[in-house]
Structure 1
Amino acid sequence: MTFRPALALLFAFIVVAPVCAAQSAADLGAGAKPRKESTLPLKPTADEAQAAQLSARFLTRFHYDALPLDDAMSAKIYKAYFKLLDSEKVFFTQQDMAKFAKYKDQLDDAIWNEDLSAPFDIFNQYVMSAVARMEYARSLLKKGFDFNTNETYDFDRKHADWPKDEAALNDLWRKRTMNDWLRLKLAGKSDDEIRKMLDKRYSGYIDRVKQLDGEDAFQTFMTAYAESTDPHTDYLGPREAQNFDIAMKLSLEGIGAVLQARDDYTQIRELVPAGPAAKSGKIHVGDRIVGVGQGEKGPIVDVIGWRLDDVVNLIRGKKDTVVRLEILPASTGLDGKHQLVTLVRKKVTIAEQAAKKKVVTITDGGVTRKIGVIELPTFYSDFGARREGDKNFKSATRDVAKLLGELKAEGVQGVIVDLRNNGGGSLYEANELTGLFIDKGPVVQVRDARGQVEVQGSDEPKMTWSGPLAVLVNRGTASASEIFSAAIQDYGRGLIIGTPTFGKGTVQNLVDLDRFGSADGKSKPQFGELKMTIAEFFRINGGSTQLKGVTPDIEYPQNGDDKDFGESTYDNALPWTHIAPADYKPVANMKAWLPQLRQMHDERVAKSPAWKLMLDELAQYKKMRARTTVSLNFANREAERKELDAVQTGFRNRHKAIDGSDAALVDEQSSLDDGLTPGERSLKQELKEEKDAKKAPDPVLDETAHVLFDAVGLIKAEPKLAVEVEPYGGKLDTAVVSAQPATATPEALPKQH
């Protein structure tokens, strides 16, 4: 899936930045140039102008579907740029847009001529308008609002027109502010509390907008250009390129802490186990970083009020170097005593995104079986460490192979690979991971811009699991995840279960623009990277996952997000097509038994209270998502809130009856809208809700385990079926595992190769 820039501007910037992981591998600490408040007008640098032209050269020549950078493309960039800046059409008016119209066919010239004054002018106007809007909202707080009217507020403005003039824009913001006030009022806040909270909120928005700098402007403009070529081409500025590298490697060099912005402080949100911060015993969740110093004696730089990424840049650094943090402990107030903590930066592994395993035990009809589950959030690979010969380099395939060995030792009789919301990653890892289940053979076909097709796959025998297999997918399963799922399906190797996948069938490559830029003799240029679509991949059966995704063998109910999320929602997505199939032979075949498995699934979920509850919650979710307008009348909203409270209370009671406990459910007080933004809730509350969400029952995974339980039962009951559904007819005698039965009944004995 597309790796999005951190800057989705004002609201997304403010909402996303406080909760994002602030970790890096780059040594930008000592040389970082902190920014507090930018000075308008923002101006492009020579490096940025050159980076834009370099990107254009690559995109117009080497992109899979190369398009000229001309007036037609300029119009597309213009549209995409304003969609990034003002997608809800709340900052600019029709009068503003009329003034900007002169730039519609000039953005191509801006890039070719290395003159980015036009896009920067637009961005500067955006910053000024955003600040003005927030100041206007603050001015409305003095008088308050009358909630006895019959006004409504249209909060979904993606398809709306820009307001006609400033008067119309003021009216829109009056309703936005009015709705913010009403949400807090419904949550039980007094007028004085609301006035203080919203003034603080809007002031914080203004501070953050004023900290947007030229790099933000350039990143946003280049994102508009890149994504105008296709949905998955992106420009990654130096900061974004570092974050992308970390996401692929799952490792970094730093202190091992997840940071977030809260008010004017950078706060410790999470400590990475065995990282320098955790091992010191002197830093705790909730502590605030108020100063950062480099080395044993470097001056402490006050970072109160700084942007999160600026603070991160100071804390980052090379392995074995020293950083000193001035800490305001969570246990003290704002006037508490500061502590100075010295840490040595180390290589830290981001375990949260690594493959994990667990065992689900299913008992049905007096039979108990263990089903192993491998959760894989992304197809990660540290190519740099691999090239350098590091025997412990991070690899999704290596980690999954290790986990499969552990599951075998635990006596599981089937394995589920959970790829829900796995947005992809390394194509190489997708090929290698497939080999753990099919032994060897083609996995994917890749067609480049010249039309040449290369068949890629697993060349060496390395089957690690030859037993019953299921792959759990959803709409968030994309790219490399779809390659793996499609190959497992085409080989007949396992069951694909869940909802139709994302539909991304293109391949991207990273181009380091610094390799092609010209230095000025004073410093190395920092041009960033271009993540460019260079090929399209096809299934080994000749079809494509593009647009259509992978259709599960057993489908579960969808949540309705497919209307707004997925390849088919992009205007410029490549069309679906197909090529000749690769030379491959299915290794197993479960198709003849699918009707029976589907019937067993349907009969089970029809009687399952947990499944019925999930369907009812999905229906409620779809109902709420379909709303685009809310009343600004207090009595009407209060009645709606009471109705929603009754619905949610019913859901909670049903959960308690099914699960026997409400420990994994959200608190009653937090189940209704509290009117707060993420940074306004207490860290303790946020962390508790995240912990509870992880413990919450997962009826989708449980049912998938049950389906695989059924498949194992069918295989054991029908020796002929075992020959059909086990890889290579069960003749591959590698890694025979003798596992203890999950129950004393002979029927439950695992049969694995």
Structure 2
Amino acid sequence: MRIQYGFLCMFLAIAPSAYALETGSPPVLAPLEQQAQAAHLSAQFLTRFHYKPVPLDDALSARIMNRFIKSLDPDRVLFLKADIDKFMADSAKIDDAINREDLQIPFTIFNVYEQRVVDRMNYARSLLKQGFDFSVQEDYSLLRDKEPWPQSEAESNELWRKRVKSDWLRLKLAGKADAAIRDTLDKRYENSLERAYKYKSDDVFQSFMDAYTTSVDPHTDYFGATASAEFDISMKLSLVGIGAVLQERDDYTTIRELVPGGPAQLSGKLAVGDRITGVGQGENGAIKEVVGTRLDEIVQMIRGAKDSIVRLDILPADAGPDGKHRLISLVRDKISLEKQAAQKTILSVKDGDATRKIGVITLPAFYEDFEARRKGDKDYRSASRDVAKLLVELKQDNVDGVLVDLRNNGGGSLSEAIDLTGLFVGKGPVVQQRDAGGKVNVESDDLPVPAWTGPVGVLINRGSASASEIFAAAIQDYGRGVIIGEPSFGKGTVQTVVNLDQVAHNIKPKFGELKLTVAQFFRVNGGTTQLRGVTPDISLPGLSDPKSFGEASYDNALPWTQVKPANYAPDGDIKALLPQLQSRHDARIKNDPDFQRFVEDIGELKAQREKKVISLNETERRSEMTAQAKRLKSREQINDGVDTGEDDGLQANERSLSADIAIEKARKNAKDVLLNEAAAILADEADLQAGGQR
């Protein structure tokens, strides 16, 4: 088994772009013997070693069935009621099927799903040949996850007529001409149609195992070979490849970004927008054409052993489809994913005539190179080690306080959360763990002296989970610093990763890995972050919808509970400062136009989110657009990262690459209203701790 860790992550299925449409029905997919064996072995682990074992019985079978169907058709726009009735007739048979290593049920459902996608996309494309009347009063339901399944093909056709009409109207309102709208939507639906021809048995199995594991608990997962490799990369922040971010666009695998210092960037042979049309291995390996090949497959072809050669057939960014290609050779090397590592910035906060320097450490994840650490590498990469180096630099910069930004940090290594806490608290208990048998262990850090003893702040949001919550909770319980933001996710469980191939003594990997919940963690004060998360000392508005995002949104989350407090001694009294920090914060944001505009934008965003239906009447929609434009025009424009502006009706891969990059750059350069206010709160903390009065 691997080292235990707290982890929250969502592995999204890759959605490949289009290629030349194959004729006939989509391929009929069938389970592999090794997949059925992996499912059975996973079931044995889940029923014996999970923190709260859930028996694989008829009741769990029904939950697995419902989750699997929902993962395929969450908006209930593909399957018919007759399909669902047929599927549910087998809902109590999944447990028996797993035990006898038979996965025919989920594969049969998926094959119907493929056919429904083909049927619906062909129908959607046929609608583009006619026009739409936007003067009639019609509505389209945006939220269909709880709506009845279509009873007939005619009812499904009516649903899709409105859906296509809605897509058309969005583009029309954005100023697109009918011919351009028709081309855009035809390409969009064709891409979805062609995707049905690219699915493989691994995709079906991964989706089914996702449904099974998350039916046991929200944070138990199955990793197939691809998902396992991506998890390893995310934890050690490195891989061996050429250092290029790839994206599928218009049938081609396109260079989206070059990693600084990577082979691709150093060679000078590749540019953003270049398209990869073929890949060859070694100096003389045959070039395999990859136009239309799935992105994940191309990525695996380009990655490889360090110092090995990969050859790429490139169609330059400025060349037409029949343009001249060039063949390049690159030597694979270790690529460090620095964008996902801890980073520091310094913000200057003015307060009257005084200016305070606040060091901000942004930590996207609690990463740790498990393998390097296990091998005894003294220089292994980890979050706490990187932060320790940044703290040394911030000391040299003479900052007045350190703000740790954990927004959207979903967790990672449990040991890293403990070590990071030690950098600010020093030696002492950090978190308590209770295993399946009820035994409680106190996990402590042994750093004799904190690396930073000055004012501390922690910025969290709904996306701060697991290891982030351990750190924030410990800082709060020790009174070491002020917690700022919105209530965190509420994940209070610990997982471990089991390599199923090692368990089965397989010589070659074929079973994948199982991440299962084995313990629950508790704060040193005895409480838990489970369900409730960490409640900030100073609240800031948030963008997320707590009804649909967070531990409390899961129907099978573990309940909140508590244990005895650990033997710890708070080393600060931040609570005494909270009333003054709150009053200063309230007074500041009241007169801060940027903050008030941000609050207004969030309100508008939430109002849009709560809309369950949208009008398909052009006059009504244009009136809504006019009102929105007037609202935005009546105030000074700022880019606060909340997108409430005009809708261009396009999906990401339908814009030009330059337009996509420009949007990404604008978001990156947006004024971070919440970060600026959190820095101001920490500056207040530094002032009050220095004896400042107003």
Q: TM-score range by the shorter chain?
A: over 0.9
> Is the CA contact 2:35–2:205 (under 8 Å) kept in the aligned structure 1?
yes
User: Does the CA contact (< 8 Å) of 1:208 and 1:307 recur in 2?
Assistant: no
Contact 1:666–1:689 (8 Å) recurs in 2? no
**Are 2:460 and 1:486 aligned?**
no
Q: Tell me the C-alpha RMSD between the 2 structures.
A: 1.9
| 1:149 and 2:142 are equivalent in the alignment | no
TM-score (norm 1): 0.89
Pairing 1:114–2:105 present: no
Equivalent residue for 2:541?
557
CA distance, structure 2, for counterparts of residue 671 and residue 292 of structure 1: 41
Per the alignment, residue 706 of structure 1 pairs with 680
Matched, 1:346 2:352: no
Instruction: Determine whether 1:460 maps to 2:467.
Output: no
* 77, 81, 106: which one aligns with 1:94: 81
Question: Cα offset for 1:111?
Answer: 0.7
Identity of aligned residues (%): 54
Q: Partner of 1:717: helix, strand, or coil?
A: coil
Amino acid at match of 2:147: A
Corresponding residue to 1:329 among 295, 316, 328: 316
Q: Could you tell me which amino acid in structure 2 is paired with residue 705 of structure 1?
A: A
Partner of 2:160: 173
SS for the counterpart of 2:687 is helix
Structure 2 residue 665 is the aligned partner of structure 1 residue 677: no
**Deviation by residue 1:371-406 (Cα, 9 ceiling, x = unmatched):** 100000100000111222333321000100000111
Residue number in structure 1 paired with 2:202:
215
Does the aligned pair in 1 maintain the 2:523–2:529 contact within 8 Å? yes
C-alpha distance after superposition, 1:480-517 (max 9, x if no partner): 00000000001111111111100000001111111123
Q: Which letter maps to 1:688?
A: A
Q: Is the 8 A contact 1:5 1:219 kept in 2?
A: no
Aligned equivalents of 2:313 and 2:419: distance in 1?
45
1:408 to 373, 384, 395: 395
Q: Which residue of 1 is the match for residue 600 of structure 2?
A: 616
Pair 1:419-2:381 in alignment:
no
Q: Give distance in 1, aligned partners of 2:522 and 2:684.
A: 31
Give, in angstroms, the shift of residue 462 of structure 1: 4.4
- How far off is 1:288 after superposition? 0.6
Please tell me whether the aligned partners of residues 462 and 544 of structure 2 are also in contact (alpha carbons under 8 angstroms).
Answer: no
Correspondence 1:242 to 2:242: no
**How far did 1:331 drift?**
2.1
In structure 2, which of residues 662, 667, 682 is the aligned counterpart of residue 688 of structure 1? 662
* Deviation of the 1:3 alpha carbon: 2.7
Q: CA separation in 1, counterparts of 2:628 and 2:106?
A: 45
Matches within 5 A, 1:185-204: 185-204=172-191
Unmatched 5+ residue regions in structure 2?
1-6
| Contact kept in structure 2, 1:355 and 1:396, CA below 8 Å | yes
Alignment partner, residue 610 of structure 2: 626
1:437 pairs with one of 424, 429, 436: 424
Alpha-carbon contact 2:9-2:410 (below 8 Å) kept: no
- 1:72-130 CA distance string (max 9 Å, x none): 11011011111111111011111111111221101111110101111110011111111
1:269-288, aligned counterparts within 5 Å?
269-288=256-275
Q: Which amino acid aligns with 2:100?
A: N
Q: Does 1:46 align with 2:33?
A: yes
Which structure 1 residue ranges, 5 or more long, are not aligned?
8-12, 19-34, 656-661, 722-746, 748-753
Do structure 1's residue 133 and structure 2's residue 116 form an aligned pair?
Answer: no
Instruction: Check the 8 A contact 2:363/2:406 in 1, yes or no.
Output: yes
What amino acid does structure 1 have at the position aligned with 2:300? N
Q: Aligned pair count?
A: 684
How far off is 1:561 after superposition? 1.2
- Alignment partner of 1:561: what SS? coil
2:170 to 180, 183, 190: 183
- Cα drift, residue 558 of structure 1: 3.4
In the TM superposition, what is the alpha-carbon distance from 1:206 to its structure 2 partner? 1.0
- In the TM superposition, residue 216 of structure 1 has moved relative to its aligned partner by 0.4
The match for 1:578 among 562, 565, 574 is 562
- 1:605 positional shift: 0.9
Is 2:225 the counterpart of 1:251? no
Q: Secondary structure of the equivalent of 2:402?
A: strand
Q: Structure 2: how far apart are the matches of 1:532 and 1:665?
A: 36
Tell me which residue corresponds to 1:22: none
Separation (CA, whole Å) in 2 of partners of 1:411 and 1:101: 65
Aligned to 1:544: 528
1:567 aligns with 2:551: yes
Residue 535 of structure 2 is aligned to residue 588 of structure 1: no
Match of 1:57 in 2: 44
Letter in structure 2 aligned against 1:4:
M
Q: Deviations over 1:428-465 (max 9, x none)?
A: 10000000001110100011111111111202314110
Aligned to 2:281: 294
The question of whether the paired residues in 2 share the 8 Å contact of 1:518 and 1:525 is answered with: no
CA distance in 2, matches of 1:337, 1:438: 61
TM superposition shift of 1:138 = 0.7
- TM-score normalised by the chain length of structure 2: 0.96
Corresponding letter in the other structure for 1:547: L
Structure 2 distance, partners of 1:433, 1:174, is 54
**Residue type at the aligned position of 1:591:** K
Residues 482 and 562 (structure 1), Cα distance of their counterparts in 2 relative to 1, 3 Å cut:
same
Alpha-carbon distance in 1 for matches of 2:654, 2:282 = 34
- C-alpha displacement at 1:6, in angstroms? 2.6
Question: Quick one: which of 4, 9, 12 aligns to 1:3?
Answer: 9
Q: Is the 8 A contact 1:613 1:654 kept in 2?
A: no
Kept in 1, the 8 Å contact 2:312–2:327? The answer is: yes
**Pairwise CA distance, 1:702:** 1.0
Give the match's secondary structure for 1:562.
coil
Counterparts of 2:416 and 2:634, CA distance in 1: 45
Equivalent-residue separation in structure 2 for 1:287 and 1:589 (angstroms): 57
